[in-house]
Amino acid sequence: MTEGQRDQRLYADFLLTGVSRLVTMAPGTPGARGPLGVIERGALAARDGRIVWTGPEDALAASVETEAVPTERRFDASGGFRTAHGGPCAVLPGFVDSHTHFVFAGLRADEFQMRHAGVSYEEIAHRGGGILSTVASTRGASRHQLDVISRERLRDFAAHGTTTVEGKTGYGLDMDSEARCLDVMNALADEPGLPRVVPTFLGAHTIPPEYRGTPDGRDTYVSLICEAMLPAFAGKARFCDVFCESTAFTVAETRRILTRARDLGYRLKLHANQLGASGGARLAAEFGCVSADHLDFATDDELRLLAEADVVATLLPGCSFTLSTPYPAAQRYLDAGLRVALATDFNPGTSYCENMQMMLALAVSNMGMTLDQALTAATRGGAAALGLQDEIGSLEVGKRCDLSVLNTPDERELAYHFGVNLVAATFAGGVPIV
């Protein structure tokens, strides 16, 4: 190497070498092959938490000032992590979980057992269960209690390879409790050693108990959301979401909330057509929401409208698994031209799971996805569902150095080797968090 060639090399403060298969999720990357952009015997360099170079390891020294990288910032995927096989490991972008409800108190394991013993949701609600039981527990929890619980959950997400987590409110349903949940999310978003957190306001999750049973209760609560909550939380939440279903909020109520949120600068999401033909999918297309989530009962025409409006379809197989309901056929959404995301929908009632690897397995085994499609949905798709596709979701120059190191040399073990954690290490912004 000449002196001139040395001068042209990139400066980095992070190196990852010894990678069996560097799955960039960027098929246009030089040296990458296949739809996932795999670089065999790859390496990666970053500076200040951003990727500056990817490629074959045998080209690293000629491209990057490797000798300038501190020893403690050099990581070896061929022996630097605890693995079963003791050889080079595959590396993926960190999973992007674009739909969760991770800030809440109380559990509902008893309801899960009752449902599978034949007790209806209506009967469970009559006994004081359902979402309102979580609302009561969350309202009764202190800021410190919610902080401790939520931090541990984020660590579980990270342990399974997730580096970005969207979190929704919606278990407070009053000014103080919703504010407390948002404060917890924003504090954790600034805490080192955790996944990135993207807060979403979901005050329109259900009608709280104090507004039920009176003629004007629904309208009063929707007015509280529009005139008090949304203005107060602007800047604390990136998104506003609404649960648009016959059991939650009507199309007219949802339209009112989304209009107010849009005027206040929120980006928009929507729970749509999970339980039936709610009209939510058509509304999501009309408002150009960043994502429409669930969509189990969306028609072909509604999917076409969503694709034309560039709305991401977020599929949530954990709900079908927990509720023992039919899985949506993923190919319908892909054939409609939609960009698809996979997410856990982590919540206490219908998908109590932080593991995106489990979602990959369910998507492949029960939703008709190939592993390539599922991995794309869990990374690039999730990033698009958060409007962060220029920041995360693939291992490309300029993007955040968010990645996971598997304990296997081949990413194709994902979905195939199910029920175990295949992640050996997780990095967020070039910093090991697991």
- Please name the helix (run of DSSP H) or strand (run of DSSP E) that holds residue 291, with its range, or none: strand 291-294
Pairing of strands 340-342, 196-204: unpaired
Q: Alpha helix locations (H) across 27-128?
A: 60-63, 109-115, 121-126
Contact yes or no for 199/237 (Cβ under 8 A): yes
**pLDDT at res. 128:** 72
Query: Is beta strand 50-56 parallel, antiparallel or unpaired with respect to 38-47?
Result: antiparallel
Note the pLDDT of residue 253. 98
- 175-189 and 143-159 helices, crossing angle to 10°: 40
Q: Are 185 and 167 in contact (CB under 8 A)?
A: yes
Name the helix (H) or strand (E) containing 432. strand 431-432
Could you tell me which of 163, 95, 89 has the C-alpha nearest to residue 424? 89
Q: Domains of the chain: which residue ranges?
A: 3-94+396-432, 95-385
Q: Is 331 exposed, middle or buried (0-12, 13-18, 19+ CB in 10 A)?
A: middle
Which stretches in the chain have pLDDT values below 50? none
Helix crossing, 280-287 with 251-263: angle to 10°? 20
Contact predicate 285/337, CB 8 Å: no
Looking at domain 3-94+396-432, its CATH class is mainly beta
Alpha carbon distance 60, 72 (integer Å): 18
* Residue bearing tokens 């028609």: 299
Nearest-angstrom CA–CA distance, 94 and 97? 9
Residue type, 290: V
Written as one string, the DSSP assignment of 134-178 is: HHHHHHTS-HHHHHHHHHHHHHHHHHTTEEEEEEE--S--SHHHH
Spell 191-202 as b/e; 16+ CB within 10 A means b. eeebbbbbbbbb
Distances (CA, A) of 37 to 22, 189, 222, 227, 267: 8, 30, 47, 48, 31
CATH architecture group of domain 95-385: Alpha-Beta Barrel (3.20)
